[in-house]
Amino acid sequence: MSLHIKTPLLASRRLCPDRSVWLKLENTQPSGSFKARGIGYACQVYAKQGARRFVSSSGGNAGLAVAYAGRMLEVPVVVVVPETTTERAKELIRFENAEVVVHGSSWAEAHEEAMQRVDRESAYLHPFDDPYIWQGHATLVEELAEERGRPDAIVLSVGGGGLFCGVVEGLRRVGWSDVPLIAVETEGADSFAQALEANELIALESISSIATSLGAKQVAQEALNRAREHPTHPVVISDADAVGGCRQLLEAHHMLVEPACGAAITAALRSPLSDLIVIICGGVGVSDDLLRSWEKK
Ligand SMILES: *Cc1c(COP(=O)(O)O)cnc(C)c1O
């Protein structure tokens, strides 16, 4: 049994009538993002190894994916989040029967508390830096190769680089290692682009973008390693243009995604390449009110 679904792949004439732009609809995963794949897989491995509890410190899509996986596997989940986490996010996690513990004023404090709660019977689920997570995300590329031939490039968002590592792994599995990746971030969350430029890990002092799902201050070392081996083109998009991407997807296909995902859509629509696949990574941290308030700014 897998905890993710096989998602639709949609050729979008409405978003881009003159070039071929295909959307891999990871927003349709049960947890609302691609995280269902890697985190679902990692949770299954840890449950088999005997974990009797899962611990997460993400109030975002990663925490939600852990909560979902825990409910499906009948393993209790604790998600420690900082005071800044929205009521809506906490509600969604509780709706998956997970326990939400509010601790500290920043993610770092919540994370510390979460680590203290990890014991021999429980497993901590990292949001992006875990080989099992990359293995799970890689299934996305296997589905692409079942449905069509190789594209000119694949466009994807990068936060901590878990999705990126998984996609590189999937490309190797299906023999598409020459397919370039367009790796998209927003200004103020561009820890991957900066690391590629410097050819070493860069720690951002703070995250200033509204695309909070991309807000890893430092990417996984393995993301940088894999970018050195795989043709990778970093692109950095403004918050306003990321929000514009959300609006375009909403109007074309009536689907609402986070700016973390809108950034990839905008980058794809700006690319001169004629045959692209965009990973619609999704995300539940968005609403019609939020989209409108971002548009006003
Ligand atoms: C987690 C997430 C990302 C970034 O993924 P990484 O694996 O951290 O690079 C992008 N978009 C959404 C919606 C996410 O939930």
DSSP string, 114-153: HHHT--TTEEE--SS--HHHHHHHTHHHHHHHHHS---SE
- Write out residues in the chain with pLDDT < 50, as ranges: none
What is the CA(130)–ligand 1 centre distance, in A? 14
User: Tokens 């031939």 belong to which residue?
Assistant: 149
Distance between CA 175 and CA 144 in Å, rounded?
12
Structure tokens at 105: 């004023």
Give the pLDDT score at 59. Answer: 87
How far does residue 158's CA lie from ligand 1's centre (Å)? 6
Rounded to the nearest integer, the mean pLDDT of the chain is 97
Query: How big is the chain by its Cα radius of gyration, in Å?
Result: 18
Give backbone dihedrals phi and psi of 239, rounded to 5 degrees, phi first. -55, -45
DSSP string, 57-78: --SSHHHHHHHHHHHHHT--EE
Q: What is the pLDDT of residue 50?
A: 97
Provide the residue type at 221 as one letter.
Q
Query: What is the model's pTM?
Result: 0.98
Q: Looking at residue 5, what is its pLDDT?
A: 98
Ligand 1 binding site (Cβ under 6 Å of any ligand atom): 33, 35, 61, 128, 157-164, 213-214, 216, 258, 260-261, 281-283
Residue 40 Cα, ligand 1 centroid: separation in angstroms?
15
- Which DSSP state fits 212? G
Residue 158 CA, closest ligand 1 atom number: 9
In degrees and rounded to multiples of 5, residue 39 shows phi and psi of -70, -35
How far apart are the CA of 79 and the centre of ligand 1, in A? 18
Distances (CA, A) of 265 to 5, 62, 178, 245: 22, 21, 22, 5
Q: Which residues in 253-292 are b (16+ Cβ under 10 Å) and which e? A: bebbbbbbbbbbbbbbbebeeeebbbbbbbbbbbeeebbe
Q: How close is the Cα of 156 to the center of ligand 1, in Å?
A: 9
Structure tokens at 200: 């070493």
Q: Of the residues 58, 92, 158, 255, which should be mutated to test ligand 1's pocket, given the most ligand atoms within 8 Å of the CB?
A: 158
In the chain, which residue ranges form alpha helices assigned H by DSSP?
A: 35-48, 61-73, 87-95, 107-116, 131-137, 139-147, 162-173, 191-198, 221-229, 239-253, 259-270, 288-296
Phi and psi at residue 146, to the nearest 5°:
-70, -25
Pocket test for ligand 1, best of 213, 226, 279, 284 (most atoms within 8 A of CB): 213
| pLDDT per position as a tens digit, 55-72 | 999 989 999 999 999 999
Ligand 1 centre to CA of 50 (Å) is 27
> Which amino acid appears at position 144 of this protein?
L
In this structure, the chain runs to a length of: 297
254: left (phi over 0), alpha (psi -120 to 50) or beta: left
Atom of ligand 1 nearest to the CA of 282: 13
